[in-house]
Amino acid sequence: MSQPSTFAHQRPLRVAVIGSGPAGVYAADILTKSAPVASGELKVSIDLYDRYPAPYGLIRYGVAPDHPRIKGIVNALHKVLDRGDIRFFGNVEYGTDLTLEDLQTHYDAVIFATGAIKDADLNIPGIELEGSFGGADFVSWYDGHPDVPRQWPLEATEIAVLGNGNVALDVARVLSKHADDLLVTEIPDNVYAGLKNSPVTDVHVFGRRGPAQVKFTPLELRELSHSRDVDIVLYPEDFEFDAESDRQIQTNNQIKTMVGTLTNWIAEQPEDPAGFTASRRLHLHFLHNPVEVLGEDGRVTGIRFERTALDGTGTAVGTGEFINYPVQAVYRAVGYFGSALPEVEFDHRRGVIPNDGGRVLDGSGIFVPGVYATGWIKRGPVGLIGHTKGDALETVTYLLEDLENLPAAAAPADDAVVELLNGRGVQFTTWEGWLALDAHERALGDAATEIDGVVRERIKVVPREDMVSVSRTALVDAPADA
């Protein structure tokens, strides 16, 4: 690549990353470790922004609290941000607190890593009935998202969860699990109280295709069997394998493992329904395509499916046979969808920012100089968290290739953006503020442990104003130098 003469000997390359989830943190980290930066040829100054007062994005607000592997990802992200070479600004809303013009004035490049947090639509009759919910909304509630209501209507005894991905299993597991067994996690108090009072007895998970076509992972599947006093119920008529299924089982170890687990479970389960003795049951159904949510007086009373069959290629086709299930709540977990950002082109069909390898495009398909995207807002909500590293590497590589052609930003001193936010009355939080909030949440967990006798690592603070208040105690001594 050409020599980055614009920045090498005059001033650092200033980059703003919008979104502090894994995608944003990975992009910032990869940029700091890139060859020209590591060699001293290029200096870089990176500011990481998030609309929430705390960092980590989907890791904090999109993953079930009883996932032990998530701690490892949080620890890795913490190490990156704790180095001190990347500044964090939380509680800053892109589009209002800071505009694209502001960012282009203060930075040479902007990377959008805002992810996808909305539920994908499922356009079937009755989906709008009371008692029909988005899985992503429920995840936000049980993860203590600051911008969702504190209460959730957990009134159903029988529940349908639509989808065969990790989110669907997370939703089903949390709905069916006993609240006391979640106390060892970072579950907020309001969530514990809601789940504790849930009258649920049966949670049904439905997928359109067969057991070999599921989209969850072996870890997610195995975690279902760890729930105390919850029976897993499977149905022999749902276990259909076509030629493509057989090929996938033979060539993909992950699919082979999951199919093996499922077939072992169904072989070991009681033949007589009376043999299921737990107080709650989690049913796994395959080859069911939802066609209508049923209701009376505006509320969910059931759901209708068309039975499907595999066509030899792993694709499910309708059989013309329909079946109804009585349920009082339906959760759709059929995928996430991105949100449009002010002043940036958006593909409303795919839910992404139009881009070419991470280079953001305008409405005419022309690269917008100095503007980039990474993660789910770049490629759509598919793949696991680790896949965002590849996205970030591609985006950062293009950014470095574009150095000579980046627009000539004013790029004022590092403290100029702090003065701008202060001048607008933005109650921003910092990395030091997150450390204060983190310590506060852990202290709440310690206090609850002494009272309940159950070890609680932390208790999440949920209200945004409380998060900001605790976080900004770290700014008291030096607000202008944050």
Q: How far lies 174's CA from each of 138, 161, 167, 275, 470, in Å?
A: 10, 12, 11, 24, 29
Measured in degrees and rounded to the nearest 5, phi and psi for residue 44 equal -135, 145
> Phi then psi for 227, rounded to 5 degrees?
-75, 125
Least confident of 263-272, 293-302, 305-314, 467-476: 467-476
Q: By the 8 A CB rule, do 369 and 153 touch?
A: no
What does the pLDDT look like over 14-70, one tens digit per residue?
Answer: 999 999 999 999 999 999 999 999 999 999 999 999 999 999 998 899 888 887 677
Residue 62 confidence (pLDDT): 87
Q: What is the pLDDT of residues 398-451, one digit of tens each?
A: 999 999 888 866 666 778 999 999 999 999 999 999 999 999 999 999 998 888
The backbone torsions φ and ψ at residue 454, rounded to the nearest 5 degrees and listed phi first, read -105, 125
Beta strands, E only, 362-412? 367-373
Instruction: Give me the pLDDT at residue 73, please.
Output: 86
Predicted local distance difference test score (pLDDT) of residue 164: 92
Residues 98-116 have a mean pLDDT of 94
Residue 273 banded pLDDT, cuts 50, 70, 90: confident
Q: Check pLDDT > 50 for residue 357.
A: yes
Q: Which two tokens stand for residue 84?
A: 């001190």
Give the pLDDT score at 479.
46
For the chain, percent of residues with pLDDT exceeding 70: 95
Cα–Cα distance measured from residue 155 to residue 198, given in angstroms and rounded to the nearest whole number: 6
**The two three-digit tokens of residue 402, written as one number:** 């574009």
* Per-residue pLDDT, 65: 86
Q: Which domains does the chain have, with CATH numbers?
A: 5-117+338-428 (3.40.50.720), 118-336 (3.50.50.60)
Q: How far, in Å, CA of 471 to CA of 433, rounded? A: 4
d(CA 350, CA 372): 17
Cα–Cα distance between 294 and 300 in angstroms, integer? Answer: 6
Number of Cβ atoms within 10 Å of the Cβ of 363 = 8
Give the pLDDT band (50/70/90) at residue 453. confident
Taking 3-state DSSP, the helix, strand and coil percentages for the chain, each rounded to the nearest 5, stand at 40, 20, 40
pLDDT number for residue 385: 74
State the CB neighbour count (10 A cutoff) for residue 157. Answer: 14
Do strands 109-112 and 367-373 pair parallel, antiparallel, or not at all (unpaired)? parallel
Q: Is 54 exposed, middle or buried (0-12, 13-18, 19+ CB in 10 A)?
A: buried
pLDDT at 298 over 80: yes
pLDDT band at 125 (very low <50, low <70, confident <90, very high): very high
- How buried is 74 (Cβ within 10 angstroms: 0-12 exposed, 13-18 middle, 19+ buried)? middle
pLDDT digit string (tens) for 152-191? Answer: 999 999 999 999 998 999 999 999 999 999 998 889 999 9
CA distances from 226 to 162, 176, 183, 284, 366 (A): 22, 12, 15, 15, 51
